[in-house]
Structure 1
């Protein structure tokens, strides 16, 4: 039994050390930046795109997901409206 007790003690020490490293690592990470652009999808089975938002838009909701600049331009070209508050279409050089 002494052999197994020693293994258990070593495993517990290793686990404690890993938990301490993880806790220190999470303290050192900078806060995540908001994405530059978001697409808002509608409610329902199709969940079609409803509008394009800037990443820090106050009107972004749970149904928003990050998109790239190219995806935002494509969506605007497909007549998906930009949020009227931030006018992302103008910022991307694609006014209506």
Structure 2
């Protein structure tokens, strides 16, 4: 999960591989990632965690 600059809000979901890890990323379980995407946290358009989690319609 990628946090915003204030470190309190989530700004994007990533798969965790192939993306530039930085200080604003935090680990999430598969269930946490699914919940975040379902609650409108945007999925990264490059690594597509929504596809890997089977959330695409």
TM-score range, shorter chain: 0.7 to 0.9
Which residue in 1 is equivalent to 2:52? Answer: 91
Where structure 2 has 5 or more consecutive residues not aligned to the other structure, the ranges are: none
Q: CA RMSD in A?
A: 1.6
Q: Using CA pairs below 8 Å that are at least 6 residues apart, which structure has the higher relative contact order? A: 2
Which residue in 2 is equivalent to 1:77? Answer: 38
The yes-or-no answer on 1:43 pairing with 2:39 is no
* Alpha-carbon offset, residue 47 of structure 1: 2.0
Larger radius of gyration: 1
SS state at 2:35 partner? helix
Q: Which is helix-richer, 1 or 2?
A: 1
- Using the size of structure 1 for normalisation, the TM-score is 0.54
* Alpha-carbon offset, residue 61 of structure 1: 2.3
- Using the size of structure 2 for normalisation, the TM-score is 0.86
Q: Distance in 2 between matches of 1:83 and 1:57?
A: 12
Q: Which is strand-richer, 1 or 2?
A: 1
Displaced runs of 4 or more, over 3 A:
none
